[in-house]
Amino acid sequence: MCCISSNLKPFLYASGVILVNAMCLFNWFISIFTQTSIQMKIIIINGPNLNLLGKREPEVYGTITFADYFQELQHKYSSIELDYYQSNIEGELIDKTQEVGFTYDGIILNAAAYTHTSVGIGDAVKAITTPVVEVHISNTFSRETFRHQSFIAPNAFGIITGFGLKSYDLAIQAILNK
Ligand code: DQA
């Protein structure tokens, strides 16, 4: 019959507690590591005049500022990294598209008026590997004919147009369900 000396018992108990704590710590590290390493990265890129949302033609684009709407989106999709960039300058939009276009999981691009004019932004979308969802707040096909043309569409993963600010939310869902 085997018996443990009473002197050894506190020592064995203490080592057991240390072992369990060490395993918990290890699991915690692993979960932090996997959470951060697999977190999806999506960026919304807005083009010219979209910094004026809330006060620009409210009958077409609504009364909510993009900053407020973006906060709602970040809250709704708190498990992903959701970034935002806006510029009124064509070259800056191209630079940002190139910068994120090989590492992010998705780009939601509302190039605004440049959608209908910019070969450069169209080429940037073609050059990158990250899927791009072209987004418009208004239904561009129910407006002037010059808005029916898109230099982004041929190389976009998809197009969402005409659902108000909700178009951005739908685009996130399209990327998440890809
Ligand atoms: C827009 C539509 C474009 O035609 C226009 O130039 C914009 C906004 C939209 O989101 O509805 O600036 O992209």
Q: Rg (Cα) of the chain, in Å, rounded?
A: 25
Secondary structure of residue 133 in the 3-state scheme = strand
- Name residues contacting ligand 1 (CB within 6 A): 49, 110, 112-113, 115, 136-138, 140, 147
CATH superfamily of 39-176: Dehydroquinase, class II (3.40.50.9100)
pLDDT in tens, the chain (178 residues): 444 556 666 665 666 666 666 765 766 665 555 554 579 999 999 999 999 999 999 999 999 999 999 999 999 999 999 999 999 999 999 999 999 999 999 999 999 999 999 999 999 999 999 999 999 999 999 999 999 999 999 999 999 999 999 999 999 999 999 9
* pTM (two decimals): 0.82
Spacing of C-alpha 152 from chain mean position: 18
Structure tokens at 15: 């080592």
* Distance from the alpha carbon of residue 34 to the mean position of ligand 1, in angstroms: 39
